[in-house]
Structure 1
């Protein structure tokens, strides 16, 4: 297991990275404190993302639709789908994220953490360039060049 990476109050711990899986997947845990946003709206050009709710409730905005993810539920977000996450509850939430193929590795989150600590306010253009290097495109609205395949939510048995 890797050392947790702190980005503000968020904690990200890799369970398996693209390095161990030969690029097949990134698998990491995210601990999200109460009333925290996990990320800005974005999409992955290549990677599909699967989120497992472990503890607490997270709210996902997927193509402008709000989806509550409870413990034991799974949210599948196909590549090209705009999404973001927040914990708008009173308790800490914990999720497991699986990206296939794995294109992030812990270095993505380390670069973001460094960029966010470097300046106040943060250099959004630089942060956008970091995201783009790792298959992540910041997006306020769905990109017309990428088909929207939607997200599927179902309970994990």
Structure 2
């Protein structure tokens, strides 16, 4: 009877499976959206970590991704939202009532938009037809847990 499966066969987790697993773990562990995670570490970049990182703990991978996120040179969500609507920084300053200098500093990360006044961020979000949350920058802060 050939219906009994070969017991020596072990299902190997593919790099894609591992990448999905790690993404889900990172979303849970860091509290960041898939969109923000993939903006910082694109799927292919994460999958390229499979060797040798698939043998490491999820915690070690989370720490690695946080380090990568801090070093990644990427555009701010503000800059991306503004460019998507084909607005200049000057347009945005005029429409939001927030100074051009402030907008430039947020986009160049010389000032943290997450620490800006709610009034300013609300005005910018309104001018860009988005939610305040869509403009806040992901933190990617790795915090040690008490778990072993």
TM-score normalised by structure 2 residue count = 0.26
Higher RCO by CA contacts (8 Å cutoff, separation 6 or greater): 1
Higher relative strand content: 1
Q: Which has the larger radius of gyration?
A: 2
TM-score normalised by structure 1 residue count = 0.25
Higher relative helix content: 2
